[in-house]
Amino acid sequence: MALPLIHLKALRLRIGATQLFEDAELAVAPGDRIGLVGLNGSGKSTLLKMAAGEIEPDAGERFLQPGVTLRYLPQEPDLSGFASTLAYAEAGLGPEDDRHRVPALLKALGLGGDEDPASLSGGEARRAALARTLAPVPDVLLLDEPTNHLDLPAIEWLEAELRHLRSALVLVSHDRRFLEGLTRATVWLDRGACRRMERGFADFEAWRDEILEQEEAERHKRDRKIVREEHWLRYGVTARRKRNVRRLAELNALKQARREAKPVPGKVKLAAARAETSSRLVFEAEDLAKAYDGRPIVAGFSLKVMRGDRVALIGPNGAGKTTLIKLLLGELTPDAGTVTRGISLEMVSLDQKRETLDEGATLAEVLTEGRGDTVFVAGQPRHVVSYMKDFLFVPEQARQPVGRLSGGERGRLLLARALAKPSNVLVLDEPTNDLDLETLDLLQEMLADYAGTLLLVSHDRDFIDRVATSVVMAEGAGRWTDYAGGYSDMLAQRGAGVTPHQDAKRAKPKAQRPAAASQAVPPRKRRLTPREQHALKTLPAEIERLSAEAARLEAAMADPTAYEKDRALVERTARALDNIQAKLQAAEDEWLRLELLKDELA
């Protein structure tokens, strides 16, 4: 094995009352592509800072090979003191580095180099920091959440750039697809220790679950042995005459091991408080138009959102995703066009920019809005500490200020606050930022069970694929297109990547009319949306497939000897049949609704 470029060994670190690391180890060899994963608050960012030499451990060693160059991308880069983004990026170069690489990287990341750091958005600051980190082409790259605040074109560019670099890589990210595309090894930071798997992130979850299942089996075996030994100690005939000193010592050792065993972290309990059911129609936009300073943000856009739809809005930063949502919600007035909103809408928004969190407020004050120790969840009172436990906060954190939370913990706090409010429409703006992968899994499960409607802004390709039923893509010049399905379905229908100008150049742009003139034109007749047209074409085949599957399962259930042969298999088959029949009924109902609507519009 090659000598590591950097080696952290036997690390120990205590922060307050928390033992963050205990005998943690990280070794990075030439060519390594390591994904560093773990729960929020487990110390991933701290471990990267130790590797970068920014934090000293209480104990342990940090070895960096002489002459090895290392660059670190923090979650929140500091650009203060620099006159421009170019000056900031060039400050990361060494004497022998190519200075011409900096302007090229800034241009690829959508920056000109003359931007004032004080006026940058979060995404622009992250792009400048990436240029500064990547420009020297170091031997070791330490990247902490590099995709945060980046749009999809920038994420795909960064993934391609990193794939072709010779640098060894240690990557912390919540973006599954980004991790799967770049990693060849995975380090799991779990309860203060590092476990390493010499395979990429695609195999991580199965490996993790296998380890946790083995731990659970060993814990159960130990607990049963303690019960047996205690029974012997109390009731054994031999014990009543003379207690066996050796067995008693073994029992005490087992109890000590149980006390010292680190508990497996719990799971976040996510459930959105439900309001009354909204009307079937939630939003219907007709010929929406909005422009700023002569630049069209939305032009001639129509969309129909029904109850239960999950609509993801994607596009480059600055394309107008937030503007479009505000037009739908009624927070902005369009220059032209109309928006019809349903009745009984109870909307809850999740602000992932975190400006709404008071750094000095405690967690309890944020959740209760300063009203003592009670938080109202769906109108029902709960003690704030009990509710905090659902989101993996410990009771001691109730009086802790928000400013001491990690990025992931702030994300969980915002989720806790938003999900306590009754809703039938959820508006989630970048909900995946800083959340750990386990919390993301549970958020996806919660959204799958959510009976209301979802409007989602996200750059997480895997999350969109798992959650969205349709994707609205910014095509440039104010044009937006509605695609059925998730992110992968959108790419297949579009036949191109996510860079808007590629599609916009081929398409003939609609002529822009003055707002007053467009208002004078009679409203356009309602038409089937692209998603509805796609559903009409694909539902018959889906119905046929589900019908065949239902027939197969019914045939298996009809076997009179099946129950005697394998009772568990019959029960599983019955559950699968119920699930298929429910899907078949829903598909037939949707096809019938669309056929009636098509006839009505014709």
Residues 62 and 72: their CA atoms lie apart, in Å, by 15
Q: Report if pTM > 0.75.
A: no
* CATH fold of 6-206: Rossmann fold (3.40.50)
pLDDT digits (tens, 9 = 90+) for 311-327: 999 988 878 888 899 99
Interval 50-74 mean pLDDT:
92
CATH class for the region spanning 273-346+423-524: alpha beta
Does the pLDDT at position 394 exceed 70? yes
One-letter identity of residue 519: Q
Task: With beta carbons less than 8 A apart as the criterion, state whether 81 and 45 touch.
Answer: no
One-letter identity of residue 560: P
Task: With beta carbons less than 8 A apart as the criterion, state whether 124 and 84 touch.
Answer: no
What does the domain layout of the chain look like in residue ranges? Answer: 6-206, 211-260, 273-346+423-524, 356-421, 530-601
Interval 479-492 mean pLDDT:
88
> Looking at residue 276, what is its pLDDT?
64
Higher pLDDT, 568 or 564: 568
Interval 282-301 mean pLDDT:
90
Interval 268-280 mean pLDDT:
65
Strand ordering across the sheet containing 18-28: 18-28, 6-15, 59-64
pLDDT digits (tens, 9 = 90+) for 215-265: 888 877 877 777 776 666 665 545 444 556 665 666 667 666 666 566 555
pLDDT digits (tens, 9 = 90+) for 342-393: 888 888 887 655 556 778 888 888 888 877 788 887 677 888 888 888 887 8
Rg of the chain in Å (alpha carbons): 28
Does the pLDDT at position 28 exceed 90? yes
> Looking at residue 591, what is its pLDDT?
76
pLDDT digits (tens, 9 = 90+) for 32-45: 999 999 887 788 98
Interval 10-24 mean pLDDT:
84
Residues 235 and 490: their CA atoms lie apart, in Å, by 69
Buried b (16+ CB within 10 A) or exposed e, 457-486: bbbbbbbbbbbbbbbbbbbbbbbbbbbbbb
Mean of pLDDT over the chain = 81
Angle, CA of 284, 286 and 289, to the nearest 5° = 120
Which tokens belong to 258?
A: 């149980």
> Looking at residue 355, what is its pLDDT?
56
Instruction: Please tell me the CATH superfamily of domain 530-601, with its number.
Output: Valyl-tRNA synthetase, C-terminal domain (1.10.287.380)
Does the pLDDT at position 526 exceed 60? no
Tokens 């929140």 found at: 76
Question: What is the DSSP-derived secondary structure letter of residue 390?
Answer: T
> Looking at residue 27, what is its pLDDT?
94
Among the listed residues 426, 431, 217, 197, the one whose alpha carbon sits nearest the alpha carbon of residue 309: 426
One fold for 273-346+423-524 and 530-601:
no
pLDDT digits (tens, 9 = 90+) for 162-209: 998 999 999 999 888 999 999 999 999 988 889 999 999 999 988 988
* Positive or negative torsion for Cα 355, 392, 74, 433: negative
CA quadruple 593, 594, 599, 602: dihedral, nearest 10: 140
Tokens 């990267």 found at: 48
By percentage, how much of the chain surpasses pLDDT 90? 25
